[in-house]
Chain A
């Protein structure tokens, strides 16, 4: 096989709007979540077995679930953190889904994006979950601290509150350093240094930023991919910074529609896949 090809093994349709799907670390299982037509949230766990997927758990929650991450949970626990339409961030034990392990009213409006770091042996330092919301704020949570975010990034008083569509942790190569990159509906991309609690870099990509991901969370910032509306995505080299123009970047047009998200290959940071609004998947190197 000289050329990579994408093969679909299993095809299964669900009867709700699907927002997010995540592999459960260290297993052949995955979690999907979304919202039912009636507005309630769904969380399902599937297992890949014998060339098919089997539904293991199906939970309904009062509010539609928007996003999920395992990034901040330990390998022992493998708790999933979710954000819902109501602005609540909750951490669930997939073995006992009736009650949240941790729950906090994180935002006033829908949580668009969530990311975690410090768990699963990925990234050093405290396990932290970041949530970005339509209310314009980004908050960082530590499951050991109740009801209060450990850090928050808000638009200052009187500023227009931009919808935060995406965020990504990175630069967590030691116990102290950590960066959080956030993307907004107006095309802003901001990079926050959580160690210094400062805005490290910002730029505008002209189109709303739907997806962000560092090639690796637990190394010194290397590459950042930001995907946008109108079929564009940008690749930033976070190690080449010009005094004036910021980080060196490349941009590419593809999918002929919104590029919704980007995921890097866990085994090789140089390979990543983008997902298009027209149902297409593109694999890049």
Chain B
């Protein structure tokens, strides 16, 4: 009925529409709105009519659609014909079914209880958890229940009441103890932030105009969508709950039994819950806590279950046993133990346990399934077991054990005396033979024996590397992490060990070496040194065969000497070691360190480089070489590399680091070094004066340790010994510098400089001292001279820049003072005048000092700048140079800059960067140029300036001053045009283009 009603109404609407359209154009009915507007444009129909047409069209369309799709319900938009038994039976769309049910329940379309139940059943079959199936049931009172149920219920309740009452009476009396302290007062002020308000969904911004669709970047939008997708699919991290501060044991000593029981029960419950949610770790924790309070059957049994889940069979068996001790007939525990045994593959024991269960509870399903599983496993095991027996016969356990024993023994022996390789071989072979004799089938054991023999070189390697490890501690004094070095040391060692076939040491020497190593390790360096001496003496006759071992011994002795402070001895030993095994990293590294300690930086540097060429991974060497690079640069200036002694080519026999690895630059370096070598040597020899050297090294060592006062004493002795050597003075100056005695520094530096004018170090130190005293001028002078001698001295440059900054600051301060004073003394004009003269004169001095050739600007104290020379006539270069003259008041530097350009280049270089203030400066410099009498050039420039792109614009903003200047220039030019060989018309034309 409803349907027919609606249909009638729609038909009425259509009829109405048709009547409307007949007045205008019936043909329009099915067409689009656009055609309506077209019609509107052409026919110029009155606006109200247009509106009616439009609305009519829309409504019409909607109506036709409705008629086509059929009638729907008012609320959920369900087509009416879907409210049908056959449809509901077929429908599997849960959403639709739910909607149908809602419609039916609402009764809007009539009451159909049968259809409702059908829909409910249908929903239940598809989604049993549907919300719509939830029904509030009236609360059941005990009277509603049947008699039996009511009785059991009342019984339960009574039981509970009694239980509670007894518990109530048992509640412990007395004060509670052991409470944690009261929390310290604290407060949080909650500030509102964005999350407090319900967040509004981000609205997509719709384009307001159709044209904006064109601008829509589809790729970007797609990317956005992707992004949001990835964001939403970001895995929500399961908060990892580590429980570091949760105690596994609970201290229950203070509690009463009641409390303990309650607490244990609670912990067990928590464990159960955790277990149910699958968090076995947590469950285990709670069970443990529960058991630690009071061991209960349930908790222990449950813990066993957890252990089963975690496959910790043995723990599970333990727990089950303890449960069974408390309750021998606990079926759960028996079953769990059976499972644990099964896991342990002890099927027989498992079987007995399951049997016990089945005796007590023949119908236990779990036990039955377990039984069948175990039986199956047992049957399998029987088959397998036979095979295993055969295997056992073939390669018995004893055999394996034996071969293992042999291996162990071998290793022990080898470790004890690394030289007895041959012996060992025999030993091993002997055992192998024994085993072959003892067993009928050797196949299993043979490869193992081979393994052992293979292992020999390894073992010997171990013995060899032992002393190397010992050597490491010496580095500690050098403030380097010993461990790191040990690691590094091992690396080159290994590479070394393989190519150099290690010849076995005689037991005597080996013994001595070991002894030396232990002594070294214990810090008894002098004793170790003696032992090494002996060892070396013993080995000396076998120099040819024992080269590598001897080298190691030398290297070790070097370490001892280094420890004892005998750096030169160390160097000597290292050199010997290197002669025996050229390119060995260890002695090289050690020698480098000794050289460094002896302040022979160049040699040290070369050694470090060599170490790196042997093994580029040695960090110590890398650090050392970079450190020395710095030192050497400071010492010898930029060309320090040329002064280096030659780097010996590392061509150790069979060593895989030929010189070809070295980069070409390094080779070139080396050649340069060779050239300088002789000169350098001579210089070195001249320095060699025994006491002097000794004291100097001592002083240097003290400086390195930071004991400057003592170092000063040492150097003083040096000075006495050799007063003509500037090094001692300069070094002493360094000490004074560190001791904050600048005047002493200056004294020493002066002396050093009087001996050697070009002593860079002394100059630098004096500069530092001056700076310390606040004498920036002197400091700057020193640094400048230094830079003249060595233009690339980075440290000096840095220092100079610092000084300049200081000076500038000082000057600024000075100026500020002056202006202040000026303001104060404005009335006293006379004095002001004096002041001004004072200030400017000092500034003049300053500037003259810096750039004596420049004319000074008299009016202002601002420094005059020299125009920088242009490397290339590019707009960038020019503008950069121009900008650097920004604060210049005179036209002079600008002019010089402009003169670097030819007039023709002007438009190109200025390009579109011409601006008002630039114009002003150009005009002023032109004036200056004009005054010099170079009229023709001025004209050229001015003429070409007209061709600069933004010229017209800029001329419009020229100030009067500029215009007058230009006016005079042009007037003069016009007058002299003939004399200068210029046409008057050209001049006038140019003048006009300037707008004058």
Q: Which residues of B contact A216 (CB under 8 A)?
A: 270, 273
Assembly CA distance A192 to B189 (angstroms): 11
Assembly CA distance A70 to B205 (angstroms): 55
- Please state if A144 and B182 are interface contacts (CB–CB under 8 Å): yes
Decide yes or no: A28 and B262 within 8 Å by CB, A176-B245, A220-B241, A239-B241 being known contacts: no
B357 to chain A, nearest CB (A): 27
Q: Which residues of A contact B160 (CB under 8 A)?
A: 28
Assembly CA distance A207 to B185 (angstroms): 32
Closest to B161 in A: A28
Assembly CA distance A5 to B266 (angstroms): 26
Q: Which residues of A contact B84 (CB under 8 A)?
A: none
Q: How large is the interface on A (under 10, 10 to 19, 20 to 34, 35 or more residues)?
A: 35 or more
Decide yes or no: A154 and B187 within 8 Å by CB, A28-B168, A121-B259, A253-B131 being known contacts: yes
- Please state if A152 and B273 are interface contacts (CB–CB under 8 Å): no
B47 CB–A CB distance under 8 Å:
no
A250 CB–B CB distance under 8 Å:
no
B241 to chain A, nearest CB (A): 5
Query: Per a CB cutoff under 8 Å, which of B164, B197, B199 touches A26?
Result: B164
- Please state if B190 and A153 are interface contacts (CB–CB under 8 Å): yes
Closest to A23 in B: B164
Chain-B contact segment, one of A14-22, A36-44, A104-112, A198-206: A198-206
Chain-A contact segment, one of B16-24, B170-178, B670-678, B713-721: B170-178
Q: Among residues 251 to 267 in chain A, which have CB atoms less than 8 Å away from a CB atom of chain B? A: 253-254, 267
Q: Which residues of A contact B184 (CB under 8 A)?
A: 150
B135 to chain A, nearest CB (A): 11
Q: Which residues of B contact A222 (CB under 8 A)?
A: 277
Assembly CA distance A45 to B329 (angstroms): 44
Q: Among residues 28 to 76 in chain A, which have CB atoms less than 8 Å away from a CB atom of chain B? A: 28-29, 48-51, 74-76
Closest to B183 in A: A150
Q: Which residues of B contact A128 (CB under 8 A)?
A: 183
- Please state if A151 and B185 are interface contacts (CB–CB under 8 Å): yes
A86 CB–B CB distance under 8 Å:
no
- Please state if B142 and A151 are interface contacts (CB–CB under 8 Å): no
A272 CB–B CB distance under 8 Å:
no
A145 CB–B CB distance under 8 Å:
yes
Q: Which residues of A contact B247 (CB under 8 A)?
A: 174
Assembly CA distance A206 to B414 (angstroms): 79
Q: Which residues of B contact A239 (CB under 8 A)?
A: 238-239, 241
Assembly CA distance A187 to B826 (angstroms): 72
- Please state if A126 and B179 are interface contacts (CB–CB under 8 Å): yes
Q: Which residues of A contact B174 (CB under 8 A)?
A: 76
B42 CB–A CB distance under 8 Å:
no
Decide yes or no: A7 and B153 within 8 Å by CB, A216-B273, A243-B237 being known contacts: yes
- Please state if A145 and B182 are interface contacts (CB–CB under 8 Å): yes
Query: Per a CB cutoff under 8 Å, which of B137, B181, B182, B266 touches A122?
Result: B266
Assembly CA distance A28 to B156 (angstroms): 13
B145 CB–A CB distance under 8 Å:
yes
Q: Which residues of B contact A177 (CB under 8 A)?
A: 245
- Please state if A76 and B172 are interface contacts (CB–CB under 8 Å): yes
A188 CB–B CB distance under 8 Å:
yes
- Please state if B176 and A74 are interface contacts (CB–CB under 8 Å): yes
- Please state if B183 and A27 are interface contacts (CB–CB under 8 Å): no
Decide yes or no: A51 and B157 within 8 Å by CB, A75-B259, A241-B239 being known contacts: yes
Assembly CA distance A124 to B270 (angstroms): 14
Q: Which residues of A contact B183 (CB under 8 A)?
A: 126, 128, 140, 142, 150-151, 194
Query: Per a CB cutoff under 8 Å, which of B173, B179, B273 touches A127?
Result: B179
Assembly CA distance A29 to B171 (angstroms): 14
Q: Which residues of A contact B186 (CB under 8 A)?
A: 150-152, 197
Query: Per a CB cutoff under 8 Å, which of B172, B236, B243 touches A240?
Result: B236
Assembly CA distance A218 to B181 (angstroms): 18
Assembly CA distance A45 to B266 (angstroms): 26
B139 CB–A CB distance under 8 Å:
yes
B933 CB–A CB distance under 8 Å:
no
Q: Which residues of B contact A175 (CB under 8 A)?
A: 180
Q: Which residues of B contact A7 (CB under 8 A)?
A: 139-142, 145, 153
B363 CB–A CB distance under 8 Å:
no
Give a binary string over A72-85; 1 marks a CB under 8 Å from any B CB, 0 the rest: 00111110000000
Closest to B168 in A: A27
B211 CB–A CB distance under 8 Å:
no
- Please state if A241 and B168 are interface contacts (CB–CB under 8 Å): no
A280 CB–B CB distance under 8 Å:
yes
Query: Per a CB cutoff under 8 Å, which of A77, A156, A219, A240 touches B189?
Result: A156
- Please state if A155 and B195 are interface contacts (CB–CB under 8 Å): no
- Please state if B164 and A218 are interface contacts (CB–CB under 8 Å): no
A13 CB–B CB distance under 8 Å:
no
Assembly CA distance A230 to B608 (angstroms): 80
Q: Among residues 204 to 241 in chain B, which have CB atoms less than 8 Å away from a CB atom of chain A? A: 231, 234, 236-239, 241
Closest to B246 in A: A174
Decide yes or no: A27 and B167 within 8 Å by CB, A8-B139, A51-B157, A151-B183 being known contacts: yes
- Please state if B187 and A188 are interface contacts (CB–CB under 8 Å): no
- Please state if A155 and B190 are interface contacts (CB–CB under 8 Å): yes
Assembly CA distance A218 to B247 (angstroms): 13
- Please state if A27 and B164 are interface contacts (CB–CB under 8 Å): yes
Assembly CA distance A68 to B269 (angstroms): 25
Q: Which residues of B contact A142 (CB under 8 A)?
A: 182-183
- Please state if B192 and A155 are interface contacts (CB–CB under 8 Å): yes
A72 to chain B, nearest CB (A): 11
Q: Which residues of A contact B153 (CB under 8 A)?
A: 7, 9
Q: Which residues of B contact A174 (CB under 8 A)?
A: 245-247
- Please state if B185 and A48 are interface contacts (CB–CB under 8 Å): no
Q: Which residues of B contact A238 (CB under 8 A)?
A: 239
Query: Per a CB cutoff under 8 Å, which of A75, A121, A124, A156 touches B191?
Result: A156
Assembly CA distance A155 to B189 (angstroms): 5
Closest to B199 in A: A204
B179 to chain A, nearest CB (A): 6
Assembly CA distance A247 to B173 (angstroms): 43
A277 CB–B CB distance under 8 Å:
no
B154 CB–A CB distance under 8 Å:
yes
A159 CB–B CB distance under 8 Å:
yes
- Please state if B171 and A190 are interface contacts (CB–CB under 8 Å): no
Decide yes or no: A76 and B171 within 8 Å by CB, A156-B189, A192-B188, A240-B236 being known contacts: yes
B151 to chain A, nearest CB (A): 11
Give a binary string over B903-923; 1 marks a CB under 8 Å from any A CB, 0 the rest: 000000000000000000000
Q: Which residues of A contact B165 (CB under 8 A)?
A: 27-28
Decide yes or no: A152 and B187 within 8 Å by CB, A9-B142, A74-B176 being known contacts: yes
B641 to chain A, nearest CB (A): 55
B263 CB–A CB distance under 8 Å:
yes
A222 to chain B, nearest CB (A): 8
Query: Per a CB cutoff under 8 Å, which of B197, B234, B237, B269 touches A204?
Result: B197
A273 CB–B CB distance under 8 Å:
no
Q: Among residues 162 to 206 in chain A, which have CB atoms less than 8 Å away from a CB atom of chain B? A: 173-177, 186-188, 190, 192, 194, 197-199, 202-204, 206
B501 CB–A CB distance under 8 Å:
no
Decide yes or no: A241 and B237 within 8 Å by CB, A27-B167, A28-B160, A155-B192 being known contacts: yes
B75 CB–A CB distance under 8 Å:
no
Closest to A182 in B: B190
Q: Which residues of B contact A74 (CB under 8 A)?
A: 176
Decide yes or no: A153 and B168 within 8 Å by CB, A144-B182, A204-B195 being known contacts: no
Query: Per a CB cutoff under 8 Å, which of A26, A198, A254 touches B168?
Result: A26
- Please state if A8 and B239 are interface contacts (CB–CB under 8 Å): no
Which of B180, B188, B198 is packed against the most chain A CB atoms within 10 Å? B188
Q: Which 8 A-B pairs have the closest CB atoms?
A: A242-B236, A28-B164, A156-B189, A27-B168, A150-B183, A74-B176, A152-B187, A156-B191
Q: Could you list some 14 contacts between A and B, CB below 8 A?
A: A6-B139, A8-B139, A9-B142, A28-B164, A121-B262, A121-B263, A142-B183, A148-B185, A190-B190, A197-B186, A204-B197, A219-B270, A220-B282, A240-B236
Interface residues of A (CB under 8 A from B): 5-9, 11, 26-29, 48-51, 74-78, 121-122, 124-128, 140, 142, 144-145, 148-157, 159-160, 173-177, 186-188, 190, 192, 194, 197-199, 202-204, 206, 216, 218-220, 222, 238-245, 248, 253-254, 267-270, 280-281
